[in-house]
Amino acid sequence: MIFDNIEQFENLTPSQIQKHFGTFKKELTKLVKHRSNMMLNPLNLKHLNSLDESIADVVTLNLEDAIAPARKKEALYNIALFLSNLKKSTSFIVIRTNPFCEGGKEEIEFLNDFGFDAIRLPKVTSPKELEVALKILNFEKDLHFSLETKEAFGCIKEFKIDNRITTANIGILDLLASLKLPQSILQRANPTIDYILTKFLIECKTVDIHPVSFMYQDYNNTDEFRKWCEYEKSFGFTSKACMGPKQAIIANEIFDTTKAEIQRAKYIKEIFEAHSSKGINGFMDDKYGFIDEPIYRDALNILQLLD
């Protein structure tokens, strides 16, 4: 916990909250595993107070649509309060601002020097929005974006305009609304949903943007959430948006690399490199059959997740 007692911060105005800002600025977190991306409401002080012990690989502090306009400044100052008193965190911390021209610019400027790892810009429609955000965002921080509009969905690959743009999060409900498609089609094995997820995944991967699959809204239905995670893993996804710890635990489990996968990858790496040193890049193996360079590269990709 960041504070032993958070009751002192309840019902304070933003100007009163500012008087409690600290001087800490946590070091940037290296994002190795990105299995769970958990959204937190910054009006909930209890959630903010556990930033230093979160089980999620990524924690996203949400200033956008979950916060009523009258309370956005309060939420913003709450984030600043807890970040400025946060000494360290194993979670990669992202701030989901409002759209750039609807308060996002000012939120980035206000938070720029606090200790977090990335900004997530919502409802982008063109790369231009990311371009102007990059100009004011501190150079050491990443920029993520939410893909929630039909305009963005039509040009996903064009959003890779800078190496700091590392991650895209698909907001499936907003995207369906933008496409004028009913939410009732959001079911596993629905061909339209399969196409949306596949296009999002592959186009992000082709330009080295990490794709995070959508948030499942029924928080207590963990069985259905698990089924979605398993289904999305079969597509090639390695990350899932989460509403809270229960979902994050499941996502961490489903999207983690298994011991069997690690053992296989290590074996293939070792035996391929041994053969390759003798000029042999394709051979039959008693354990795994034919091994050649594509099999070797797949093993390296698996082992890279452990670094």
Residues 31 and 10: beta-carbon distance below 8 Å: no
CB atoms within 10 A of CB 254: 21
pLDDT at 307: 59
Whole-model pTM: value is: 0.89
The architecture that CATH gives domain 7-256 is Alpha-Beta Barrel (3.20)
* Residue ranges of domains in the chain: 7-256, 260-304
Q: How many alpha carbons lie under 13 Å from residue 29 in its C-beta half-sphere?
A: 24
pLDDT in tens, 65-78: 889 999 999 999 99
Query: How confident is the model over 211-250, as pLDDT tens digits?
Result: 999 999 999 999 999 999 999 999 999 999 999 999 999 9
Quote the CA–CA distance of 180 and 171 in Å, as a whole number. Answer: 14
189 is written with which tokens?
């094995």
Instruction: Tell me whether strands 118-121 and 142-147 are parallel, antiparallel or unpaired.
Output: parallel
Q: Could you tell me where the DSSP H helices lie in 3-98?
A: 14-18, 45-49, 72-83
